[in-house]
Structure formats: structure tokens, C-alpha cells
Amino acid sequence: MDILSHLKKGAFLTTKHNGKVNTMTISWGNIGIEWNEDVFITMVRDSRYTKNALDETGEFSVTVPLDDSMKKELVFCGTKSGRDFDKIKECGFDLIDGKVVDVPAIKCHSLVIECKVIYTQRMEEVLINPQMKEAFYNSGDIHTLYHGKIVAMYEV
């Protein structure tokens, strides 16, 4: 399975904070090995509602759809904020409980990756390549990188 080609099409990064489940669309991420651990690295902009939940709980799930059945939901969750919408309700998502983390995943034909944050780093603007900075950060809304130890991975 080519996980990265599916991730490029969009995935759901889901958090649970104070009993509220929220999800956002991501299409950037890395899978690798750090400190002898399997990790998934996700990037969340400072302005995103999801950032606070990640900072507070240190857990997340990534639901990577393996077909095109979630296109409409990926657009909605990538353009609307959890501050203003209950995305789970608006999209009619069925959730499945996390196997290891206290964060559910979205039930669809997908690969689910459950993670516990082991390292966090806010990007330093001065270190970003000028072309990348112009293309992706001209508003100054920088990403924080969350390195999540993969604690479970399975197909739904």
C-alpha cells in the first residue's frame, strides 16, 4: 500500500480535548523512525483550533482514506474551523474508539494511525527556504511539528 499517495489526497487529523472530538484535514506528513521509534510527523499551524488540543493532550489519530469516498468531507474539514462547527456532526462521521489512545478515528475505508506526541517543535521562520516561505508562510502563520510515536496502525 502506498500510504503517502493516499496522504497527499488528504487525511483527517483527529484530537479529543475536554470531551470534544475535532478533526482537521491534513495532506502533509511524514512517516519514519526517530529514537528507534516508528513515528508520524504532522504539521499544525499556530492559528488552528486543533493546535491547543494537541498541546494539551499529546495524542492524535490520523485517518487516511483509501478511496475517494470522503472528498467532500476532506474539503469541509480543511476549510471550516472547529471553533465554529462541530465537524463530526456536520459531516455525519461515525467514530471508532482508539485502540491505544483516547482519541477516536473516523470510520471509513482507511488506514488509521494512532500516535502519542514524543517531540514538538515550532518552525523557525528564519530557517525556512525563502521560496517555501513565500509560497506557504507569507501570512506568518507558521507550523508546529508534532512527532507522534505510532502506538497502533490498522485498516478499517
Q: What is the pLDDT of residues 81-121, one digit of tens each?
A: 999 999 999 999 999 999 999 999 999 999 999 999 999 99
Residues 37-76: b if buried by 16+ CB within 10 A, e if exposed: eebbbbbbbeebbbbebbeebbbbbbbbbbeeebeebbeb
pTM of the model: 0.93
Task: Say whether pLDDT at 1 is over 80.
Answer: no
CATH 3.20.20.150 fits 3-155, yes or no: no
